[in-house]
Amino acid sequence: MNSTDDTQPVTPAVDSSGKPVNVVQRDLADTDDDTKAVDEVITPTSTRTKEQDAETLQRKVDEIERKVADGN
């Protein structure tokens, strides 16, 4: 068993001059339309949005089940 730790410490991102760069702020400020569509596809939607979709589907299922139970 190897006891050495091969993981690198997390270091902040720096630009070419060695100054730290807040990449999250930079990416949020980037309004490039070419990457916006990709970001929207890759970025998961919020849990609340999924809950709202599930509630809407459940209402539709309940409505269909009532119609089937009534014989319509």
pLDDT tens per residue across span 51-62 = 888 999 999 999
Residue 55 lies in a domain: yes
Distance in angstroms (rounded) separating the CA atoms of residues 29 and 39: 13
Give a yes or no: residue 52 inside a domain. yes
Q: Is residue 44 part of a domain?
A: yes
The predicted model gives 68-72 an average pLDDT of: 85
Task: Assess if residue 18 is contained within a domain.
Answer: no
pLDDT tens digits along 21-41: 777 777 777 666 677 777 666
What is the token pair recorded at 65? Answer: 């089940």
- What is the number of structural domains in the chain? 1
Q: What does the pLDDT read at residue 61?
A: 95
Does 61 or 7 have the greater pLDDT score?
61
Please indicate whether residue 70 or residue 23 has the higher confidence score (pLDDT): 70
Identify the domain containing residue 54 by its residue range: 23-70
Q: Do residues 20 and 13 lie in contact, with contact meaning Cβ atoms separated by under 8 Å?
A: yes
Kindly tell me if the per-residue pLDDT of 12 is higher than 70: yes
